[in-house]
Structure 1
Amino acid sequence: MMAQNTAQKTNGMRRYETEKKAIGKNVFICPPMPVTIVGTCLNNRPPNFLTVGWVTRANVNPPMIAIGINKSNASADGITMHKTFSVNFPGTDLIEETDYCGLVSGKYKDKSRLFDIFYGELKNAPMIQNCPITLECQLTETIDLPTNYLFIGEIKGAYANENCFTGGKPDVTEINPLLLSMPDNSYWQVGEFLGRACKIGRSLKA
């Protein structure tokens, strides 16, 4: 099924003649999204780490983050058990380790040996020293979905490498985060700077 848009220009807004194609309901977000490594603890096991792409900020104050994890993963058990977890943002230099953490299960493999680990305020939220940005989170809500749990956690602490700042603010080019696009399952890195958010569109307010 095709839906066609008519080319026009209204109130200074650009309109292009283009066709839309129906692609079904199971749609992944095509633009690259940040890849993270979620850290958890399990009883009598080393800290566990899982590659997670479904991550988003969920609230401003208090700051909260939401992560989607399949129910079969050991990390889901760890978060449910201890009510804490970490979210680590690897740089492109950790592409191999990051990919590996999504290939093997913490139920059978010790993935903690890949990283230098540290802790903040939460004792069961292991963080990765090798990642330029790390967050420790306290679980506030679990949403039970058909295949996944959506874990929402309050960010209790955030840590960053000193060399990732420019002018006192985190610099995405220095962080050089690892990005993921779907459904092609490909890794990317940050590209060209286009403009400042909340500023570039102000001319249209007139």
Structure 2
Amino acid sequence: MFYQPKDGHGLPHNPFNAIITPRPIGWISTRAGRGDNLAPYSFFNGIAYTPPQVMFASTARKDSLNNIEQSGVFAVNVVAHARREAMNLTSGSYPPGTDEFELAGIAKAECVTIPCPRVADAPAVLECRLGRILRLEGPDNHLVIGLVTGIHLRDDCIVGGRFDITRFQPLARCGYRDYAVVREVFEMARPDDG
């Protein structure tokens, strides 16, 4: 099968999200005039190492984007498999000003380097200062780039001096309504590892 997106795919469901999989989930927390907000974004990833930078894309103008424009900061909370139901609950469309931390029964803590809430028991949290927001092609697509100013690592996830993802089993988004969980990892040496 071949199709050009401008012509449509002819399938009952759009395969695009299922092709780019698995995708890490950035559980984005923000604070602005109407209060605290928490929402998952699966178009999320790290984009630079030095200085550390991340990005997430928002399709449509949502509370997260509005809050980041107002405050200039946000936090990326890593989603553990054990928090899948709470994460899913925070993905709903709620009226502006709804505190999804309260709605989903998630304990919050304050960030250190930015005025923003974070998921208190997240395996890792990246505190971010807004780098820029880019308007993307399409009716209402936005790319948010953040410069990481602080990193929280849950102590039980540090094993032998490494951040061990098997301790919390990260949740990933696949296509449609499908998710995946990382339970197995393996290591491969690069050809230039000495």
TM-score by length of 1: 0.79
Residue number among 148, 152, 156 corresponding to 1:159 in the alignment: 152
Q: Which amino acid aligns with 2:128?
A: C
SS in 2 for 1:152: strand
**Which structure would you say has the larger RCO, counting Cα contacts within 8 Å and 6 or more residues apart?**
2
Cα distance in 1, alignment partners of residues 127 and 90 from structure 2 = 19
The reply on whether 1:185 has 2:174 as its aligned counterpart is: no
CA separation of 1:175 and 1:106: change in aligned 2, threshold 3 A:
farther
1:142 and 2:122 correspond? no
Indicate yes or no: 2:29 matched with 1:39.
yes
Distance 1:148 1:178, change over 3 A: same
CA shift digits 1:96-140 (9 cap, x unpaired): 1100111133515321212221221101x2111121111110001
2-structure distance, mates of 1:82, 1:108: 15
- Give me the TM-score of the superposition, normalised by structure 2: 0.83
RMSD, aligned α-carbons? 1.9
CA separation of 1:108 and 1:137: change in aligned 2, threshold 3 A: closer
Does structure 2 conserve the Cα–Cα contact (< 8 Å) formed by 1:74 and 1:105?
A: no
SS of aligned partner of 2:85? helix
Letter in 1 for 2:2: A
Please report how far the alpha carbon of residue 172 of structure 1 lies from its aligned counterpart in structure 2 after TM superposition: 1.2
Structure 1 pair 106–152 and aligned structure 2 pair: CA distance change class (3 A) = farther
State the Cα distance separating 1:156 from its structure 2 match.
0.3
* Number of equivalences: 177
- The alpha carbon displacement at 1:39 in A equals 0.5
- Once residues 61 and 159 of structure 1 are traced to their aligned partners in structure 2, the CA distance between those partners, rounded to angstroms, is 18
- 1:70 deviates by 2.5
Matched residue type, 1:35? I
Q: Distance in 2 between the 1:190 and 1:23 partners?
A: 31
Alignment match, 2:165: 172
Deviation at 1:86, TM superposition (A): 0.5
Secondary structure of the corresponding residue to residue 41 of structure 1: strand
Match of 1:79 in 2: 68
CA, structure 1 residues 108+82, in 2 after alignment: closer, same or farther (shift >3 Å)? Answer: closer
Identity %: 21
Distance 1:79 1:108 in 2: 14
Q: CA deviation at 1:90?
A: 1.5
Cα separation, 1, equivalents of 2:108 and 2:164: 23
Matched to 1:42, the amino acid is A
CA distance in 2, matches of 1:39, 1:106: 16
**Structure 1 unaligned blocks of 5 or more:** 1-20
The residue type equivalent to 1:192 in the other structure is E
**Computing the radius of gyration over CA atoms, which structure comes out larger, 1 or 2?**
1
